[in-house]
Amino acid sequence: MSQVIALVDDDRNILTSVSISLQAEGFVTRVYTDGASALKAFADDPPDLGVFDIKMPRMDGMELLHRVREAPAPVGTMPVIFLTSKDDETDEAEGLASGADDYITKPFSQRLLIARIRAILRRQELAAGRDNEEASEASDLMIRGRLEMDPQRHKVSWDGKPVTLTVTEFLILETLAQRPGVVKSRNQLLDAAYQDDVFVDDRTIDSHIKRIRRKFRSTDKEFDMIETLYGVGYRFGEE
Local confidence band at 88 (pLDDT 50, 70, 90 cut-offs):
low
pLDDT at res. 18: 94
Tell me how many degrees the CA angle 83-175-218 measures, rounded to the nearest 5: 70
CA distance 220 to 120: 29
SS percent in the chain: helix, strand, coil, step 5 = 40, 20, 40
pLDDT at res. 128: 59
Q: What percent of the chain has pLDDT over 90?
A: 45
pTM of the model: 0.63
CB neighbours (10 Å) of residue 1? 5
Q: Yes or no: say if 193 and 172 are a contact pair by the CB < 8 Å rule.
A: yes
CA distance 213 to 224: 8
Local structure of residue 32 (DSSP, 8 states): E
Local confidence band at 15 (pLDDT 50, 70, 90 cut-offs):
very high
CA distance 12 to 67: 23
CA distance 132 to 149: 19
Residue 167 clears pLDDT 60, i.e. is over it: yes
